[in-house]
Chain A
């Protein structure tokens, strides 16, 4: 049995009396990839943000490294940034900093690395995502795919235990999707623990160890890619898979 990296228990989230997450329970094992799929508005991103504590859940527990994150103080949570990485749909690079600075800012300010060491490590991660040659560029001169790869390098530079991806390719032009997925796939091969929300079904099928299918604020089916895509138990899952694959 592999060890759990993150465990969620009965996680609920309300927005102005509207229940968006209706009690989610489950876990992500270390060195594994969990992919969350489902129709728009089903609560995928909300769940991801609740797990990463970007938007704390209304109730329920999120256990990371034996600690209940929902009971942590703000100060503890800011240290989480070091251990939990996040890649956003809209990249959210800092436009006033160069590519290199975007990657080194966290290690310097939070991990207190020296500038030299931070630069050295940043170049290593930029190489890993194939962006080393753009180190001196500003984000606005990059394509969407390039921006997202820099964002991944920025998250990796903090050497996180878990990496969350919130629809990392949704804002990209089709020709840029592949380069980003390749980087994520490489990370999966290197046994990085990851939670990915995505609409790319083929990609989900390829990299996932486990898939959650969400609908209306609930995980309606959990299983390995094989089961979910070829032999789902739930009729809702079947309908969703058919729709997205043939659309």
Chain B
């Protein structure tokens, strides 16, 4: 009994080590960052397209295009290097991880240079220096004519942002709260949940231009403290690549191209914000719907295959098979899917280059497999032992017994649970948006950033999710009834 326990723990430890292993190996040795880009002929740039005018997405002739100041800077860098440009869209929180793990060569995502970030990545020169401002409701302009009046008030900032650090430092008598998305912060401001939103000047300008209820005031931070420059980030030790990027930035600044870029970006923002009807964005939602469906269907399909394999391993009399299966199921069920998605994309990504969508499908399938395995095991255990004995008594092998007697009955019993798993995979696959898979949630954030509308896109996506799960439930019930007629 004791030995069995120790063995199980050992298996878990080994499995955990194997999961951590690849990441630990990725420490950089020699600087071949520039050489690598030139050899592959592609500059991979990580960004998060929900931050206009720095980066956002727009539709040109029915095709989705990345636009904004950062995208123009990226284009110039790629041009100067003589390589092709590949934009990798992801959640802002994943952008730095993408360069650290080699998913992307550089990150250009309206990144401010901070001391904390400097410890984990290298930065280029600033390609843009804006100012810090607060957005407030226009009707409060008399109440808060300057930022000084905001002391003791409620201030909202984006999670993990420079604005958050600054607000906490200089408004330590105020309540500073965080949200992930700028669109959410604006909505909180409009609803009086916060009195001001700490935000970058160009972003604030865009909001003020499109939302008549908002006004902008200068943040008034002491000049020397504001590291509000925007720079390009690369993995630690990428000196050669950073040098090349700096040359491009010198060129951009000498020619004052930044203003041109911003003007250009502003035009897209205007276009997007002019007609903010959700109908205009139907193909964003449609693409999200397609990707979410694809992820769910493939993840469930491979999840069932994996679940079958795991359950056979777990029920095996051989401990070499049953222990790894048990350890796998315990680990997957005992950790958040979000962590697993990040691990597959960034961890596995250090070994093989996986596109975000593939990584997302793999991660969700790996997760679902563990749950399906337990569902199938429950279905098998609920069967009478006599069924196995009867099969044995007519000379069935173990495989035939499983295939013709046990599994058909088990699957019939677990059909409702499998259906529930399918529906929960459909909903929970939304987590893959953090690595930039353009599923429904991801598209939701893109549309919110583009239209400056906080609620309408959420309602649209909610309706789409509901229609999907509702249809699926009907379908599953139909098949369940059909099976019960037998």
- Taken residue by residue from 365 to 390, chain B's Cβ proximity to chain A (1 for < 8 Å, 0 otherwise) reads as 00000000000000000001011011
Q: Chain B: which residue is nearest A49 at the CB level?
A: B389
* Nearest CB on A from B304, distance (A): 19
Once bound together, how far apart are the Cα atoms of A31 and B396, in whole Å? Answer: 26
Residues of the B chain whose Cβ atoms lie less than 8 Å from the Cβ of A94: 387, 390-391, 404-405, 409
Q: Chain A: which residue is nearest B405 at the CB level?
A: A94
Residues of the A chain whose Cβ atoms lie less than 8 Å from the Cβ of B393: 52, 54, 81, 84-86, 88, 155
Residues of the A chain whose Cβ atoms lie less than 8 Å from the Cβ of B486: 96, 138
Q: Chain A: which residue is nearest B400 at the CB level?
A: A109
B260 CB within 8 Å of chain A: no
Residues of the B chain whose Cβ atoms lie less than 8 Å from the Cβ of A105: 394, 404
Query: A96 to B409, Cβ gap below 8 A?
Result: yes
- Taken residue by residue from 108 to 122, chain A's Cβ proximity to chain B (1 for < 8 Å, 0 otherwise) reads as 011000000000000
Residues of the A chain whose Cβ atoms lie less than 8 Å from the Cβ of B384: 90, 92
B395 CB within 8 Å of chain A: yes
Query: B409 to A110, Cβ gap below 8 A?
Result: no
B333 CB within 8 Å of chain A: no
Q: Which of B384, B387, B393 counts the most A-chain CB atoms under 10 A from its CB?
A: B393
A233 CB within 8 Å of chain B: no
Q: Chain A: which residue is nearest B408 at the CB level?
A: A96
Q: Chain A: which residue is nearest B411 at the CB level?
A: A96
Residues of the A chain whose Cβ atoms lie less than 8 Å from the Cβ of B405: 94
B240 CB within 8 Å of chain A: no
Within 8 A of B (CB), among A36-63: 52, 54
A227 CB within 8 Å of chain B: no
Once bound together, how far apart are the Cα atoms of A54 and B393, in whole Å? Answer: 8
Q: Residues of B within 8 Å of A, CB-based: how many?
A: 19
A158 CB within 8 Å of chain B: yes
Indicate which residue in A52, A88, A110 contacts B395 across the interface (CB closer than 8 Å): A110
A78 CB within 8 Å of chain B: yes
A215 CB within 8 Å of chain B: no
Q: Chain B: which residue is nearest A87 at the CB level?
A: B393
A82 CB within 8 Å of chain B: yes
Query: A88 to B400, Cβ gap below 8 A?
Result: no
Say what secondary structure dominates the interface of chain B: helix
* Nearest CB on B from A38, distance (A): 22
Residues of the B chain whose Cβ atoms lie less than 8 Å from the Cβ of A52: 393
A26 CB within 8 Å of chain B: no
A210 CB within 8 Å of chain B: no
Residues of the A chain whose Cβ atoms lie less than 8 Å from the Cβ of B404: 94, 105, 109
B335 CB within 8 Å of chain A: no
* Nearest CB on B from A107, distance (A): 9
* Nearest CB on A from B486, distance (A): 7
* Nearest CB on A from B124, distance (A): 66
* Nearest CB on A from B400, distance (A): 5
Residues of the B chain whose Cβ atoms lie less than 8 Å from the Cβ of A96: 408-409, 412, 486
Indicate which residue in B390, B392, B395, B396 contacts A93 across the interface (CB closer than 8 Å): B390
Residues of the A chain whose Cβ atoms lie less than 8 Å from the Cβ of B397: 78
Residues of the A chain whose Cβ atoms lie less than 8 Å from the Cβ of B396: 78, 81, 106, 109-110
Given the known inter-chain contacts A90-B384, A92-B384, please indicate yes or no for A78 contacting B392, CB distance below 8 A.
Answer: yes
* Nearest CB on A from B109, distance (A): 56
Query: B394 to A78, Cβ gap below 8 A?
Result: no
Once bound together, how far apart are the Cα atoms of A109 and B402, in whole Å? Answer: 13
Once bound together, how far apart are the Cα atoms of A86 and B389, in whole Å? Answer: 9
Query: A90 to B386, Cβ gap below 8 A?
Result: yes
Indicate which residue in A54, A84, A85 contacts B389 across the interface (CB closer than 8 Å): A54
Once bound together, how far apart are the Cα atoms of A84 and B393, in whole Å? Answer: 7
Indicate which residue in B386, B408, B409, B412 contacts A88 across the interface (CB closer than 8 Å): B386
Residues of the B chain whose Cβ atoms lie less than 8 Å from the Cβ of A155: 393-394
Query: B389 to A88, Cβ gap below 8 A?
Result: yes
A79 CB within 8 Å of chain B: yes
Given the known inter-chain contacts A96-B408, A105-B404, A109-B400, please indicate yes or no for A82 contacting B395, CB distance below 8 A.
Answer: yes
Query: A80 to B386, Cβ gap below 8 A?
Result: no
Given the known inter-chain contacts A94-B387, A96-B486, A109-B400, please indicate yes or no for A154 contacting B392, CB distance below 8 A.
Answer: no
* Nearest CB on A from B417, distance (A): 18
Query: B409 to A95, Cβ gap below 8 A?
Result: yes
- Taken residue by residue from 134 to 166, chain A's Cβ proximity to chain B (1 for < 8 Å, 0 otherwise) reads as 000010000000000001001100100000000
Once bound together, how far apart are the Cα atoms of A180 and B450, in whole Å? Answer: 77
* Nearest CB on A from B26, distance (A): 47
Once bound together, how far apart are the Cα atoms of A198 and B209, in whole Å? Answer: 92
Q: What would 18 more interface pairs be, CB under 8 Å, given A110-B396, A154-B390?
A: A54-B393, A79-B395, A81-B396, A82-B395, A84-B393, A86-B389, A92-B387, A92-B389, A92-B390, A94-B391, A96-B408, A96-B409, A105-B394, A105-B404, A106-B395, A110-B394, A110-B400, A138-B486
Report 16 cross-chain contacts, Cβ distance below 8 Å, ordered by A residue: A78-B392, A78-B395, A78-B397, A81-B394, A81-B395, A88-B386, A90-B384, A92-B384, A93-B390, A94-B390, A94-B391, A96-B409, A105-B394, A110-B394, A155-B394, A158-B395
